[in-house]
Chain A
Amino acid sequence: MNVDQMELVLDHYKNPRNSGTLSNADFSHEEGIPSCGDKIRIDIKVSDDKIVEAKFCGKGCAISQAAASILTEMIQGMDLNSIKDMDGQQFLETLGVNISPIRYKCALLALKVLKTGVFGDNSFEYEH
């Protein structure tokens, strides 16, 4: 972890965007990491195959929670299909943090929750 590079993450950690749930969500999914207790739920509302609203809630470390906030911001207005193409490596780069591989799971939890929620189990695997 290099704190100097964490501006974006810290900002989203301290001021989470899109926090909450949607009562009329088209997709809603929650997952956690048993070893560290992190949990994230993402709700999205879709219209014409586009994401019109995304919300998240959860608990855990700064990295996992900030990543969820950043992700929900990124996907507003996006085509559902383009979510399929989002890959972990790219998302890590977006976060702009230099974290040890041990914590990739925290950083990628939100993306896993999103993809699994929309496309079902096994649509996202943590890479090593």
Chain B
Amino acid sequence: MEKVINKLPSFNAYEIRSDFPIFSRKVNGKPLIYLDNAATSQKPRRVIDGLKSYYENNNSNIHRGVHTLSYESTVMYEDAHKKVAGFIGASDWKEIVFTRNATESLNLIAYSWGLHNLDKGDEVLISIMEHHSNIVPWQMLCQARGIVLKFIDVDEKGNLDLESFERLLTDKTRVVSIIHVSNVLGVVNPINYISKKTREQGAILIIDAAQSVPHINLNVKELDCDFLVASGHKMLGPTGIGFLYGKKALLESMEPFLFGGDMISTVTKEKSTWNELPWKYEAGTPNIAGGIGLGLAIDYLENIGLEQIEEHESELLDYTLNNLKQLPWLEIYTPLEGQRVGVVSFNVKGVHPHDVAGVMDEDGIAVRSGHHCTQPLMNRLNIEYALRASFYLYNTKEEIDQFLISLKRAYKIFKR
């Protein structure tokens, strides 16, 4: 008899789904098919239960207390910083500042570093595919400091145009602030190349990793960046918690962004001195439960392994694109090759994406339609809005089949 080797599949999206309570609900009578992960991810039981357990067993304010609960909360909250540091390869957990989200982290950099280090005529180089959160804070600095904001272009395929990057990177460039993974195109930008060139110019490098940290294994030392920002809610964590990684020397030299309790070392009637890192940047009572929840989300992701998640998403992406490109009535914006995460943006020609998304909602499918907080990119692509399906570890091919059926149904209804 032939010997059957029963190799257990190490990654199983169906098993993973059972860790996410939300998938037991229905939407409009249909099982929920959640394809809006680039906006926010769903939460595993471990995170939800962890929040509850924290409030039931440990809840206290951190730092200031001598009592047991305060000690426990402080340790748990600090540990969450350590988990983030480990997850992104920072050598010192004091380089991790907890914020509300990626947006707040980028604002922190613009205010704490930008306002004090940039002057009239200094150039900040971003790209046309940035999320508004990496555009608007710099526009504030254009007003406040007279800096010049420049945009790296995208090429015809939807990839970052490296020629444009090299042309715009000059000795006036003080900052390159770049999206790691586009929340619309799904492309992974070549940060290593960008960081090498940026170093040669002596500019600082900021990475908006809101769409990469949840999906690909990254290491801040290998990326060689000065700052990196992300949001907890896109990586299985709670809303209201995000982080900033900054090189220690930079964080130490910068001025705080928010002032008040917890961020000080001493306060007299005249002046104050700042607390050590990272507390110098975490004024007031922070989102303690949120930070702990983020730590639990990281435990969950590490347990599964980012490489496995990346591979799973890549399979889903290829499967989806191979199907979508058969449909001549679609316009697809996500490049058909190259390194990408599980994000597909497209339009049904001549049909408003809200109408398509409305039909899909009727089928229990959550996709996003709109400008995705990337109006300059929409403009560059000559569109006003797009549909976006974005995947994560719990999505399956069967869900994509349903998505395709629903998409065809929407087309039949609205085509003119």
Q: Which of A's residues lie within 8 Å of B, judged by CB?
A: 1-3, 6, 10, 13-14, 35-38, 60-63, 99-100, 103, 106
Contacts and interface: CB of A to CB of B under 8 A. Distances in A.
A13 B414 contact: yes
A117 to B, nearest CB: 23
Given A3-B359, A62-B352, A36 B413 contact: no
A95 B351 CA distance: 20
Interface string B339-363: 0000000000001101100110110
A100 B370 contact: no
A61 B361 contact: no
B355 A62 contact: yes
B416 interface: yes
A1 B385 contact: no
| Leading 4 A-B pairs by shortest Cβ distance | A61-B352, A1-B358, A37-B384, A61-B354
Contacts of B385: 36-37
28 contacts: A1-B358, A1-B359, A1-B361, A1-B362, A3-B359, A3-B413, A6-B413, A10-B413, A13-B416, A14-B416, A35-B370, A36-B352, A36-B354, A36-B369, A36-B370, A36-B385, A37-B371, A38-B352, A61-B355, A61-B358, A62-B351, A62-B355, A63-B354, A63-B355, A99-B358, A100-B358, A100-B361, A103-B358
A3 B362 contact: yes
A37 to B, nearest CB: 4
A78 B384 CA distance: 36
Chain B interface bracket (under 10, 10 to 19, 20 to 34, 35 or more) = 10 to 19
Given A36-B354, A36-B385, A37-B385, A62 B414 contact: yes
Contacts of B414: 10, 13, 62
Contacts of B370: 35-36
A61 B371 CA distance: 14
Interface string B315-359: 000000000000000000000000000000000000110110011
Contacts of A99: 358
Contacts of B416: 13-14
Contacts of B384: 37
A60 B416 CA distance: 14
A80 B413 CA distance: 36
A62 B352 CA distance: 7
Contacts of A100: 358, 361
A35 B413 CA distance: 24
A60 B369 CA distance: 12
Contacts of A38: 352
Contacts of A61: 352, 354-355, 358
Given A37-B371, A62-B414, 18 more contacts: A1-B358, A1-B361, A3-B362, A3-B413, A10-B413, A35-B370, A36-B352, A36-B385, A37-B385, A38-B352, A61-B352, A61-B354, A62-B352, A62-B355, A99-B358, A100-B358, A103-B354, A106-B354
Interface string B352-388: 1011001101100000011100000000000011000
A1 B369 CA distance: 15
Contacts of B358: 1, 61, 63, 99-100, 103
A1 B361 CA distance: 8
